[in-house]
Amino acid sequence: MEPAAEVLAGDPARGEVIAGLGACGACHTAEGGEPFAGGYGIETKFGTFFAPNITPDATTGIGGWSYDDFVHALRDGRSPRGRPYVAAFPYAAYTRMSDADLADLWAYLRGVAPVEAVERANEVRWPYDTRFATAAWRTFEFRREPPAEDRGEYLATGPGHCGECHTPRNAIGGLRARREFQGADDPPEPSPDLTAIIGEGWSQSDVVELLTSGMAPDGDMIGGVMRGLVVDGTSRLSVSDREALAAYVLSRAPNRHAKPDAEPPSDGEDW
């Protein structure tokens, strides 16, 4: 067993921003439910996975966890008892989070209101509901990666895990890395091809504005999950972080041709 993680003094205010960037509340809050108390159904082509309670409730949440348990969950995708989590939990991206961000996120989650809420069983069809399926996915798709040195890449591939929604997946749910940000048709709502949308006509300042206010160059406002991610996450990043994130996303569109007067091929409902 690996040695216990070093417990850093986390900043809950910064952790709240990290939680917003990672859309933790969006996935771990059921419609009309208490924040972070779980129960939200994540629909996939394999079935529906229900996010667990991550409030500090001692019996049904993570109140009984140690910081070491938390780090292992995000970096190795395993519960305190050692059982592997399913891939609907994007821990493959969280392995790339820095020690400081993990500590900040832990500090924030420890401070949210504890809620007693029993975890709802997943509704996934056979054989994707078996331990064998999870083991197969981990064998072929899961890799622990260090945090990226480039700030924009770090935010996008680590805490932001942008590719988890905007990259198509293969037959066993693995990301098609060579098609990063090229969109996906997976439920609950298809995600657009970012390389196509921003690849023609969007400048870095356009992307920064989207990350700040949620407004596209044509004046449309984004909605859905992305709206919450902007309000709770990217809009609260520093200007330099938003610029770095925008630069990285633009770099994923290799055939980009800046056309200041071009109409972006999207509207707010596409996001």
Task: Classify 234 as helix, strand or coil.
Answer: helix
How are the residues of the chain apportioned to helix, strand and coil, as percentages rounded to the nearest 5?
40, 10, 50
Examine the pLDDT at 38 and tell me if it is beyond 90.
yes
pLDDT tens per residue, range 172-183: 888 887 787 887
Model pLDDT, residue 184: 78
Distance in angstroms (rounded) separating the CA atoms of residues 138 and 11: 32
Model pLDDT, residue 267: 41
pLDDT tens per residue, range 49-59: 999 999 999 99
Share of the chain above pLDDT 90, in %: 64
Cα–Cα nearest to 89, from 139, 126, 137, 156: 137
Confidence of residue 259 (pLDDT cuts 50, 70, 90): very low
Distance in angstroms (rounded) separating the CA atoms of residues 192 and 206: 17
Distance in angstroms (rounded) separating the CA atoms of residues 50 and 27: 9
Examine the pLDDT at 163 and tell me if it is beyond 50.
yes
**38 phi, psi to nearest 5 deg:** 80, -175
**Per-residue tokens: 214:** 């949620």
**Per-residue tokens: 258:** 């800046």
More confident residue, 189 or 210: 210
Ranges of each domain in the chain: 12-148, 192-270
